Chain A
Amino acid sequence: MKAMSEITYKPGREPHSRETRRIFRNIDRVGYNPSIECFIEDGGYETLKKAVAMEPAAIIDEVKKSGLRGRGGAGFPTGVKWTFIPKGNTKPVYLVCNCDESEPGTFKDRFIVHQDPHQLIEGMIIACYAVQAHYAIIYMREEFPEAAEIVRKALAEAEERNFLGKNILGSGYDLKIILHRGAGAYICGEETGLINSIEGVRPYPRIKPPFFPAAIGLYGCPTIVNNVESLCQVRQVLMRGGEAYAADGSTRSPGTRIIGVSGDVQRPGYYEIISGSITYGELLYDLCGGPKPGRTFKAIIPGGASAKVMRCDEVLKGRNPDGSVRKMTIFDVPMDLDSIAQHGSMSGSGGVIVMDDSRSMPEMLRNLNRFFAWESCGQCTPCREGNPWMLKLSTRICEGKAAPEDVDLLKSVADNICGRTVCAFGEACSWPVQAFTTKFREEFLALTKPINALKPHNPETAEARKYLTRED
């Protein structure tokens, strides 16, 4: 395995000095291609050899010890998820890799499956061995047709070398991995929706408690659904050892995280950092190079489109190590899975969307409302009916045709969707509305005066517009 310093990256894609590239080690690397030769040369499939010599229970213990948490958005401990398979289970166990990356703002899995598919496959084989699954599925979103070909080829290569198939590396363990392509539905990223999609029925999410997929999942059998990055992290855990893995980064969410930054920054892109080692301010000002010339940051969506938006000038309360309270802003919040949750948002899948002062917040919300209205699966009435209603309301506000009461109505629709649906989509669609209308209320109210809606949005007029509402 080559040392990090010996690797050259494509121009413009070099890692920042504060990054730690583990999962993304081979992404945009000069001279690296998705073939198995490249991967083996880089130390690939060595961890698998180590893993198949271990007891499956020992691997689960190692992953539990590492404190690895899922990277799909919910942050559920991976090792704990694996133990949810009922004891004394006689049915086959399935493992599904969730590669339906469709949360706006998140784009980490794309690079793994396009450029380093064997890393995922190795992680997947280890995970399958740990839960003793003999059949696994990679659920790939429809928008990755090239990746589907790359992964199919990689699976064939792995099978040729006996990393897959019958009696893997002489261990007596069999595994078959297939690739299943979705067809462009956001809801298939929800694990039970994804299972229904594989079963060949309309991908409506299932009611989760009391039966989680780990007990009753695909074809009624225990099924483990893990995100692409989580499975790659499993490989890292085995490579480093659980305790060594847990030593890096914040105590409650150790290891590295891949952050995707998009929107109004100088250098948007992906960054792999040790969890909690930097703050949002350091990410945006150091790694991403700050705002575009002449602009200032206005708002940050810290974890994919469904996370609550944070105002950059909002004063947050932080706790010092000695227990005293200090004032801070979003820029002082460390980038781990939990810190931002204390301030009312979530870190989710690590997609940071940044907006500067040239952006109109009602416009941004309208865009998000359109996304959620388009993607609602239609199973639960509050979400199916509420989303187009919210889109109509926010469109009306943006067009200057709304009354000030419509802003409150918009929020109340969101409040009535949240918590009243089968899956988390209800929360995902209502959190942005609640946060935008509360935190940028003055912008919404300003647009209810028709003359304001006609003016272009810019920082100079924003101040003046604030006071010109119908309420005057």
Chain B
Amino acid sequence: MTMTEQPDVIEVLAEAKPSPGEKYYPPFEVTPELTEKAKEYIAMYPEGKELSAVLPLIHLVQEKHGFICPQSVLWIAETCRSTPIHVQGIVSFYPGIRTRCPGKWHIRVCHTIACALSGGEELLTYICEKIGVDPKTMTDAEPMAVSEDGLWSIEAVECLANCGFGPNIMINDTLYSQMDRAKVDALVAEYSKKA
């Protein structure tokens, strides 16, 4: 989608419905394990620097619950002795932090110059078609598109730092390089079976 056709950010966020991916992730709740883990993270940093743990805590929540919901922002703010607005400022800054739940399998497709040279853009369109999402729903305000069944989500990302072996995609935490249509077909089939 080009910059000139961008819809209004506020409209997009106001219209956002709960993601179908939410059924694959447990809802956020503060458990003793979570508090324990949070203490461990805070202890990694020098004394009195609890705020440094904000990114590790965000990752902790995001890995388990898929995204950062308003309740978790409150919890993170309380845990690192900050304010919710400060944590929200961090959450909204980083492209790697999601405010909407992804699908069970979250695909990141690189479309920066080196991957684009080896066909990343075409691959992005193909994967969208393959998992049944409309690429037009991926905008700057909401870069991620989730499939109807909540099994898949897709996001176009900038540079996965494996430029020599493009096009690169990531499914959850695993990188797949030198992709083509056949390899994508095989991967989608493999992951669908896992689900």
Contacts and interface: CB of A to CB of B under 8 A. Distances in A.
A152 B145 CA distance: 32
B31 interface: no
B165 interface: yes
A371 B159 contact: yes
Interface in A94-143: 101-107, 109-110, 135, 141-143
B94 A185 contact: yes
Contact of B162 (A92, A110, A182): A110
Given A183-B58, A359-B117, A201 B51 contact: yes
B95 interface: yes
A226 to B, nearest CB: 18
A317 interface: no
Contacts of B49: 199-200, 219
Interface stretch (A40-48, A242-250, A389-397, A408-416): A389-397
Given A180-B55, A262-B114, A107 B4 contact: no
A181 interface: yes
B107 to A, nearest CB: 13
Contacts of A373: 3
Given A180-B55, A219-B46, A367 B164 contact: no
A374 interface: yes
Given A184-B96, A202-B90, A367-B116, A261 B164 contact: yes
Contact of B114 (A145, A353, A374, A399): A353
Contacts of B2: 395, 399
A72 to B, nearest CB: 13
A421 to B, nearest CB: 17
B163 A262 contact: yes
B147 interface: no
The bracket for how many chain B residues form the interface is 35 or more
Contacts of A107: 161-164
Interface string B87-104: 001100111110000000
B82 interface: yes
B3 A375 contact: no
Interface stretch (A56-64, A75-83, A264-272): A264-272
Interface string A356-379: 000100001001101101110100
Contacts of B97: 183-184
Most buried by A among B52, B140, B174: B52
A260 B4 contact: no
Given A104-B113, A264-B117, A395 B96 contact: no
Chain A, interface SS category? mixed
B173 A145 contact: yes
A425 B121 CA distance: 25
B117 A104 contact: no
Contact of B117 (A92, A185, A355): A355
A135 to B, nearest CB: 7
Among B46, B93, B108, B113, chain A packs the most CB atoms within 10 A around the CB of: B113
A183 B59 contact: yes
A305 interface: yes
Contacts of B108: 143
Contact of B95 (A106, A144, A184): A184
Contacts of A219: 46, 49
A264 B119 CA distance: 11
A146 B116 CA distance: 24
B7 interface: no
Interface in A215-272: 219, 260-264, 268-270
B73 interface: no
A202 B90 CA distance: 6
A399 B44 CA distance: 51
A430 interface: no
Interface residues of A, number: 62
Interface string A190-203: 00000001111111
A178 interface: yes
A200 B114 contact: no
A414 B111 CA distance: 23
Contacts of A353: 113-114, 117, 163
Contact of B4 (A200, A367, A392): A392
Given A104-B112, A146-B174, A367-B112, A200 B54 contact: yes
A141 B175 CA distance: 14
Contacts of A396: 4
A104 B158 contact: yes
B51 A263 contact: no
A396 B3 CA distance: 10
A199 B90 CA distance: 11
A388 interface: yes
A371 B158 contact: yes
Nearest to B94: A183
A361 to B, nearest CB: 12
A469 B56 CA distance: 54
B124 interface: no
Interface of A: 92, 101-107, 109-110, 135, 141-146, 178, 180-186, 197-203, 219, 260-264, 268-270, 301, 305, 351, 353, 355, 359, 364, 367-368, 370-371, 373-375, 377, 388, 391-392, 395-396, 399
Given A184-B96, A203-B93, A395-B3, 7 more contacts: A109-B161, A143-B96, A178-B44, A198-B52, A353-B113, A374-B140, A377-B93
22 contacts: A104-B159, A106-B163, A143-B108, A143-B170, A180-B52, A180-B55, A181-B55, A182-B94, A182-B96, A183-B97, A184-B97, A199-B52, A201-B51, A201-B90, A260-B163, A268-B164, A351-B163, A367-B112, A374-B95, A391-B3, A392-B3, A392-B4
